[in-house]
Structure 1
Amino acid sequence: MSTLPKTLTLDTSTSRANPTPQPMKRLTVPRIRQRKGGEPLVMLTAYTVRQAQLLDPHCDMLLVGDSLAQVIYGLPHTVAVTMEMMALHGAAVVRGSYHAAVVVDMPFGSYEASPEQAFNNAARLLKETGAAAVKLEGGRVIAPTIEFLTHRGIPVMGHVGLTPQAVNILGGYGVRGKSDEEARTIVDDAIAISEAGAFAVVIEGVLESIAIEITRKISCPTIGIGASAQCDGQVLVSDDMLGMFDRVPKFVKRYGDLATQYSAAAKQYADDVRDRSFPTQDQIYKG
């Protein structure tokens, strides 16, 4: 049973979390699909309203990734993520965005059993979040499920190569496709889910030659993460890109150092409180 409110009225004139939106038209799945071979698609992860507001003007898509397991909840991997987590964070990101198409990861265990299970859970996520699409991991095995969903009005983004939800089988997060057999499997997986109706495919953690081959062979856009600049777009975990963690994968380029800024600001605040230089007269109400 969902715990989300049936209605929610936002006072955009007074709420710091919901400022008046800028007038712009949200990107649609068909428009994203049409970008194949054109201007590269920009996607970043988002998990909160404020994060969505800051990223939205610069992105074509915002991914509510199950990476929130590590980023938000401090879990060791994505296997423990629940539908409730994805629904709540997905709804927050939709409320905070007005331009980007929002895609929500379906968590491990929510779609593998049958196409019918996948439809019920995907429909729930779209209803409760207002997102444009869901993302599923897997290749040929999951292709019939993708076809089932797309034929019933649920846009699906695929995900091949390094699939984090399969970490227990893969034995870690190493680069995929080093053997000829595995490389061929990854390419075949991407072709299968593209033909099943996926509107885009994330290619993660593979040798560059594999990503280039997939991009050339499938009809929908490819979104690289640890793949190739020749993909039709790129995605990163925002917190990695912004320097929130000490350790990041090889394929991440840091565009900021927010961890240092957070720590420095907290230290300055703590020092000011302890020496009673905060609050000053500017932060105090007088009668």
Structure 2
Amino acid sequence: MDIKARFLEMKRQGRPIAVLTAYDYPTAKAEAAAGVDLILVGDSVGTNVLGYASEQEVQLSDIAHHVRAVRRGAPQAPILADLPYRTYETPEMAVANARQLREAGADMVKFEGARPEIAAALIAAGIPVCGHLGLEPQTHLDKKLRGRSAVEAAQLVEAAVALDRTGISLLVLELIPEEVAARLTRAIAAPSIGIGAGRYTDGQVLVITDLLGLTSANFRHNRRYAELGPLIGTAIAGYVRDVHQRAFPTEANAFAMPKEALLSFESGGS
């Protein structure tokens, strides 16, 4: 079953799709073992891993690098990769750049905005596509809820239907009212994946650093399943303290020579 058919069947059966970001080998390995349905190598890697000020700084080479790492960690898992800011200005550019991400190991690519011509070009080139509507982090610098007014909600529905007609495989809906997300989900054939879009989408996606509590900021749409940030800080501080106090390493962490070799070494032998 191809990737599009797999998720269409999940929507048909009413089985929610669990999507999660990953940017490295060990995280991808853990997510695959946990049964994540789709791993997203998102441009959120920029602010969460690479120290960039915004998603706009992420380069195609950054995404390709992290896709390769994730593919090594999850060789059988479906991988979705973001096309970064300004890498899909024309259909030709989108196809060329998407092919690079496919060569790196991505099964599907995602881009932001109501750009059915971009989706159509990618699909015609044999590249599965995920759309992204609502908050568009690459261009919306004010990270606020979208689709709150009737006019904006209607525009989102119109954009979703236009993308769906091209044959997209999935549609991410970010930071929109759940009533709008529910309407969109009913209006399109492609499965919808929500992040801050409420309870009535066909699946959900979260950013792994938010889920694990590695970031200082929390968000209403997020649920922290662990608080690893403080644990990591405590562990590192403990290591530094033990080194400074010569409490690490101990004899249990050291390796000894065989007694005869040690006697020979100390007597100047070889």
TM-score normalised by L of structure 2: 0.91
Alpha-carbon distance between aligned partners in 1 of 2:19 and 2:26, rounded to the nearest angstrom? 16
Q: Give the 3-state SS of the residue equivalent to 1:153 in structure 2.
A: coil
1:221 lines up with 2:191 in the alignment: yes
Q: Give the 3-state SS of the residue equivalent to 1:246 in structure 2.
A: coil
Q: 2:98 aligns with which of 119, 122, 146?
A: 122
User: Following TM superposition, where does structure 1 have runs of at least 4 consecutive aligned residues deviating by more than 6 angstroms?
Assistant: none
Match of 2:58 in 1: 81
Contact 1:27 1:101 in 2 (8 A): no
Match of 2:10 in 1: 35
Contact 1:200 1:220 in 2 (8 A): yes
Task: Give 1:135's aligned amino acid.
Answer: K
Q: Give the root-mean-square deviation of aligned CA atoms.
A: 1.3
> How much has 1:27 moved relative to structure 2?
7.6
Identity %: 36
1:109 lines up with 2:86 in the alignment: yes
> How much has 1:76 moved relative to structure 2?
2.1
1:1-287 pair list within 5 angstroms: 28-37=3-12, 38-57=14-33, 58-112=35-89, 114-127=90-103, 129-139=104-114, 142-168=115-141, 172-287=142-257
Match of 2:263 in 1: none
Alpha-carbon distance between aligned partners in 1 of 2:196 and 2:226, rounded to the nearest angstrom? 19
Alpha-carbon distance between aligned partners in 1 of 2:62 and 2:84, rounded to the nearest angstrom? 9
Unmatched 5+ stretches in structure 2: 258-270
Greater Rg by CA? 2
Match of 1:6 in 2: none
Alpha-carbon distance between aligned partners in 2 of 1:224 and 1:98, rounded to the nearest angstrom? 25
Alpha-carbon distance between aligned partners in 2 of 1:30 and 1:94, rounded to the nearest angstrom? 21
Contact 1:87 1:125 in 2 (8 A): yes
Q: Give the 3-state SS of the residue equivalent to 1:154 in structure 2.
A: coil
Contact 1:27 1:100 in 2 (8 A): no
> How much has 1:282 moved relative to structure 2?
1.6
Alpha-carbon distance between aligned partners in 2 of 1:101 and 1:67, rounded to the nearest angstrom? 18
Task: Give 2:256's aligned amino acid.
Answer: K
Q: Give the 3-state SS of the residue equivalent to 2:116 in structure 1.
A: helix
> How much has 1:244 moved relative to structure 2?
0.5
> How much has 1:278 moved relative to structure 2?
0.6
Alpha-carbon distance between aligned partners in 2 of 1:111 and 1:240, rounded to the nearest angstrom? 28
Contact 1:135 1:157 in 2 (8 A): yes
TM-score normalised by L of structure 1: 0.86
Q: What CA deviation, in whole Å up to 9, does each residue of 1:119-176 have, x standing for no partner?
A: 111011101x11101001111xx101101111220000110000101124xxx00000
Contact 1:224 1:231 in 2 (8 A): yes
Aligned length: 255
Q: Give the 3-state SS of the residue equivalent to 1:165 in structure 2.
A: coil
> How much has 1:277 moved relative to structure 2?
1.3
Select the structure that is richer in helix. 2
Q: Give the 3-state SS of the residue equivalent to 1:31 in structure 2.
A: helix
Alpha-carbon distance between aligned partners in 1 of 2:76 and 2:16, rounded to the nearest angstrom? 16
Q: Give the 3-state SS of the residue equivalent to 1:164 in structure 2.
A: coil
Moved more, 50-59 or 154-163: 50-59
